[in-house]
Amino acid sequence: MLSKIAHIGVAVHSIEESLPFYRDALQMTCSGCEEVASQKVKVAFLEIGGSRIELLEPTSPESPVAKFLEKNGPGMHHVAYEVADLAGALAQLKAAGTRLIDETPREGAHGSRIAFIHPKSSGGVLTELCQYPGGGKHS
């Protein structure tokens, strides 16, 4: 069902203030920033060896990431896995009794479709599934 880890999401107060650590100290490549307005977040992707970290900055105090930061402070927010068929994966998980936050896909970054699994079903780790346009991998 899963093809790879798509990215690891890290909640930050400020992408601008967090970038120097990843880009300059760790020498990862920043492949761009994007606002996902529907989820009230700005994201930046940092790449290394085909793996990605997604920095998540809230764009409003009502953003779920703002609430996460308030409760936990900055740190790891979610693990995202790539799938070729998101609707099929969700149906398969639901049939297996997995609790889903999203029963149908919603809009993610880079034109992806995404859905979250409830942390109660994944040992407390917020888990995202994502499918890229045309079933292809995000490059």
Fill in the amino acid letter for 4: K
Binding site for ligand CMX (CB under 6 A): 9, 36, 39, 41, 43, 54, 56, 64-65, 68, 77-78, 80, 101, 108-109, 112, 114, 116, 119, 124, 126, 128, 130
In the complex, residue closest to ligand CMX by CB = 108
Pairing of the two strands 51-58 and 29-36: unpaired
Beta carbon nearer to ligand CMX, 74 or 119? 119
19 vs 33, which CB is nearer to ligand CMX? 33
What's the CA gap between 49 and 74, in Å, rounded? 24
Residue (27 or 79) nearer to ligand CMX, CB: 79
Supply the minimum distance, in Å, between the C-beta of residue 124 and ligand CMX: 6
- Among candidates 130, 114, 126, which has minimal Cα distance to 5? 130
User: How far apart, in Å, are the Cα atoms of 15 and each of 23, 51, 89, 102?
Assistant: 11, 19, 32, 26
